[in-house]
Every structure is written in structure tokens, then in C-alpha cells.
Amino acid sequence: MSTVKSFNDTSAVSLAYAIGNGADATEFQGETFNLIPYTTEGFQMSKEPKMSTAISGDRRPNNSKNTKGTASGSFGYEFGATPMALDFLSLALMNNWSPVDDLDATKGTLITDGEEKLFFCVEKTNRSGPASTDLQFHERYYGTAVNEATMEFGDGELVTLTLNTMSVFADLAEAPRGVDGLGGSLAASKVVPTDYEIADSSNNLKTVVLRDDQGDVMEVVFSDLSLQIQNNVREQPGLGKEFAAGMGFGKVAVTLSGEIYYYDQTLLKAHMANRRLSAEMQVETAEGTLTFMFPNLMVQTPTSNSEGENQDYKTSLTLSAERGSVTVEGATRDCVIAVRYVAA
């Protein structure tokens, strides 16, 4: 007699991470992992197919083989001023948070773009059922680096942070779930994140300020805004390595892009005359406040076009960040971007 089949729902899939530079399971076995409350994910591992070119006397191909492996991924996260968000910003900016004032913790912590080669491990788990005897399947991604991070601020939308990653190695495991639900997992435990206020672009994005080369506030109102951080990560292949031998990092590229309501030609003039701008935006939630600072911006391709009747006239633009300096509580730091966090 046949029985009804039930295939997995996406709610059976979880993502968890642990920070560390291990390239295989050795460093992460028995560690504490943090579950990610993700919205979308795109982790995958594969091998490059190679087909034999031997001539066999007929037209039929044979003896293909999958050779070099690659591993990459992505996930979306609803942004808030949480320890997890601070971890993700640290991984994206390749730097560690440091106290603004060693003697006064209330002044918060600060991070700038840096050169620390920070990695983490991601374990993607798919459980087949709720019983302790049901199998669950794991994909593990080691030596994972953030290639690109994007924060989106849409009109009336939740603020999201999306990370795109590349990994130096990946493997598989499966086992019955067990009484603790960790069967086959690297983790000794997986911590469920505490509830937090998800930032939205109406109530929590408190300020978006653009200043001209004289430091004066410009008449700018964004209707949407995106922050992108790119690390130009690349795999470094090596003979005798199933996946990559290492991971290379290029120049950091930070951009702000979006649409603003047209006010005057100031931004177009700044673009044409190569004038430098600066910007600051602040995200405040129940857990704390994050202030993003961009000390040296170049205006790229501001475009204003009428696209139809009864529509707002807007300017699309991209602001490209370059080396500058920020001064926080009397201390000056060179950077492309700086972020200050002050707990509530």
C-alpha cells in the first residue's frame, strides 16, 4: 500500500555561524554556533565538470569527471542593532570593533574598513522530520569570507542586510537528529538569537545627511537608499587542493546609491567639478544606535529624467567613497567608512 509523501518546507532549513579562520571541521567541532534568522539564503557547493576528449571510435562521450570544487553563498538578514549585526559588519569591513574611549564604555565602539582577514563557518541544516530518529542533513562552509554586503533602505520597508560569501572549503554530513537536535552537527550548541527591534526606514532611520565640500548640509531627501561594501574577494586555486588553496582580498569599494527628489543643480555641479562630499546616517533601535560615516564621497553619474506624467521628478545618483578621515570624541581615524555603535 502506498502512503502520502510530504516533502520538506523551507522552515526545515536553518543557518548557523561561528567566527574563526579554520579551513575544515577541526576548529569548529564542538563550538557554539549562532542561529541566523535569515530571510533568504543561497549557499551552494559544486565541482567543475570535465569531459574526456579521448576518441573512442564512435560518437558517444564517456569518462567525464567532476574536478575542482567551489563554494559560495548568500543570506538576507533583517537588520537591527544586535551583536549579530555587529558581527556581520565586522566581517564585511574586515576589522574589529574597538572602544571609542577606553575609560568610558557609554561612548560606544567604533569600526572602520580595515585589513583584518576575518573568516567564519556556516552550517546549513535540513531536517527531514521532528523525531530524534529522523535524519538531518548538513552542508558546512569553512573559511567563509564576505565578498559583498548590501544594506537596503526602501520606503516604508524593513532595513535589510544581505551578505554574499565565498568559502575556501565545504563538506557534507548527515545523522539522526538525536534528542538534542544536533545529530551530525559541528556545534555543541546552537544559540537562538534574542528578540530585537527590526529597523525600518521610516521610524528607525533617524537621519541621512549629505554635506558639501564646505561642510554645509545639502538640501537632499532620499526616496530610497542602498549601501554596498565590496571586498573583491577571489579564490586562490592550488594544485592538490579539492577546493581553493586560499582566499585573496582586493581593494574595498563602498558606495551609496539611490534616488533623491530634485531640488537644484548642486549635485550635478559637484559631479562636474569633482567636488568632495561627505555623508552620515543614523539607525536607532531599542537596542542601540548605529551611526554610519562617509568622510569623502565623489558624485557619480547623477541623472534626472522625466519618465512620465504625474510623477515625481527625481535624480538617480551613486556616491563612491574614497579615503578620508573621521574624528570621533577627539580621535581622528583614516577610513573609507566608519560605523559607531552606542548601546541603549
Residue 248, pLDDT > 90, answer yes
Residue 78 has pLDDT above 80, yes or no: yes
Confidence of residue 132 (pLDDT cuts 50, 70, 90): very high
Q: What is the radius of gyration, based on Cα positions, of the chain?
A: 24
Residue 85 lies in a domain: yes
- DSSP letter at 203? T
Q: Which three cell numbers stand for residue 74?
A: 548568500
Domain count, the chain: 1
Q: Which residues contact 12 (CB under 8 A, 6 or more apart)?
A: 126, 127, 128
Place of cell 547623477: 302
Q: By three-state DSSP, how is residue 271 classified?
A: helix
- pLDDT-derived band at 326, boundaries 50, 70, 90: very high
- Per-residue DSSP letter, 266: H
pLDDT digits (tens, 9 = 90+) for 141-163: 999 999 999 999 999 999 999 99
Residue where the block lists cell 577541526: 26
Name the residue range of residue 164's domain.
11-46+66-343
Q: Do residues 222 and 208 touch, judged by C-beta distance below 8 A?
A: yes
Q: pLDDT band at residue 309, thresholds of 50, 70 and 90? A: confident
Give the pLDDT of residue 124: 98
**Euclidean distance between CA atoms 295 and 279, whole angstroms:** 7
Q: Is the pLDDT confidence value at 334 over 90?
A: yes
Q: Residue 216 falls within a domain, yes or no? A: yes
In a domain, 74, yes or no: yes
Q: In the prediction, which pLDDT does 304 show?
A: 76
Residue 55 within a domain: no
Q: Report how far apart, in Å, the C-alpha atoms of 243 and of each of 28, 49, 111, 121 are.
A: 18, 14, 32, 15
CA–CA gap between residue 239 and residue 245 (Å, rounded): 8
Does 3 reside within a domain? no
Q: Which of 303, 297, 301 is CA-nearest to residue 320?
A: 297
In the predicted structure, residue 20 carries a pLDDT above the cut 90? yes
Evaluate whether residue 317 is within a structural domain. Answer: yes
For 40-67, how does the pLDDT look when each residue is reduced to its tens digit (9 = 90+)? 999 999 999 999 888 888 888 888 999 9
Is there a domain that residue 202 lies in? Answer: yes
Tell me if 304 is assigned to some domain.
yes
Amino acid 272: pLDDT: 82
**DSSP bridge pairs for 46:** 70
